[in-house]
Amino acid sequence: MNEIIQSRRVAALQMVSSTCVEENIQRAENLIQQAAQQQVDWVVLPEYWILMGKHEYDKIAIAEDFGHGKIQNLLSSWAKQYNITLFSGSLPLRSENPHRVWNTQLTFAPNGACISRYDKVHLFSFSGVGETYQESDTIMAGNQPVSLVHQHWKIAQGICYDLRFPEFFRMQTPFDVLILPAAFTQTTGKAHWHLLLRARAVENQAYVIAATQGGQHENGRTTFGHAMIIDPWGDVLSEHKKGEGMAIATIDLNRIASVRRHLPALDNRVF
């Protein structure tokens, strides 16, 4: 039997992605390299790290077929080169509809193999002063949660807007850690980002690793930032507020067990 790895050192990256794919690739690799130099085991990229296009339809032009393509090859090679588990944030994959893509998180093991695929289920819709978003115009909605067991950790997955739907993560409970790449707007992030992340950690008594976009983008969009890692008690272990950078912390199965032993809320559930 393989020895259980009790702790993992993890990094949640924060980017301010541009309209240039090649530029974003270089920025992402620089951050991954910096994280690897700090001896991390897992790295999480943010949503839309590969492109914050001038127009919502720009993502369709760079979409790849699942299992093939430059972006996926790069992610696989980075996982292998830096000996990390790499959570891809989100990238556009072609769907059966030529006008829409899947907004997908892939997980790459340290040997470069893709071990998980999750297609974003909940699509962001928001109308505010001077800003309107309707992801369903260009994105196909996934239809099921995807969790995986990796290095003896049970990992739940979500992307950005999924965070607002606690029942979605209850479908994956119990899990040890939630991986959540995002690109929260400044408006919604300022109001709800910390609150929702801490709530998901507390109610599931699990770690939350949230990688995000954080700054002013070329396309005029402003994202909230505050990449962070939260423990099962709701404590923020690490946070990077604005601009490019990362939050780094160690997560530990013993901490999860301790929280659940002292407050057996998951065992006390009725429904």
Measured distance between the N- and C-terminal CA atoms of the chain, rounded to whole angstroms: 35
136 domain residue, yes or no: yes
269 domain residue, yes or no: no
For the chain, the domain total comes to 1
Q: Write the CATH number for 92.
A: 3.60.110.10
At 209 the three-state DSSP class reads strand
The residues carrying an active-site annotation are 47, 120, 160
Instruction: Check whether 256 has a pLDDT greater than 80.
Output: yes
Q: What is the pLDDT of residues 204-248, one digit of tens each?
A: 999 999 999 999 999 999 999 999 999 999 999 999 999 999 999
184 domain residue, yes or no: yes
220 domain residue, yes or no: yes
Q: What is the pLDDT of residues 15-33, one digit of tens each?
A: 999 999 999 999 999 999 9
190 domain residue, yes or no: yes
Asked whether 158 and 178 are in contact (CB, 8 A), the reply is: yes
Map tokens 């309707």 to a residue.
134
20 domain residue, yes or no: yes
Asked whether 32 and 14 are in contact (CB, 8 A), the reply is: no
Structural domain boundaries enclosing 163: 7-262
Instruction: Check whether 1 has a pLDDT greater than 60.
Output: no
Q: What is the pLDDT of residues 145-199, one digit of tens each?
A: 999 999 999 999 999 999 999 999 999 999 999 999 999 999 999 999 999 999 9
271 domain residue, yes or no: no
The Cα-based distances of 270 to 257, 263, 266 in angstroms read 21, 15, 9
31 domain residue, yes or no: yes
Instruction: Check whether 129 has a pLDDT greater than 90.
Output: no
- Residues 129 and 269: their CA atoms lie apart, in Å, by 41
Percent of residues, the chain, with pLDDT higher than 70: 99
Helices and strands of the chain, counted as H and E runs? 6, 16
pTM, to two decimals: 0.96
pLDDT for 264 equals 98
**Encoding tokens for residue 252?**
């530990």
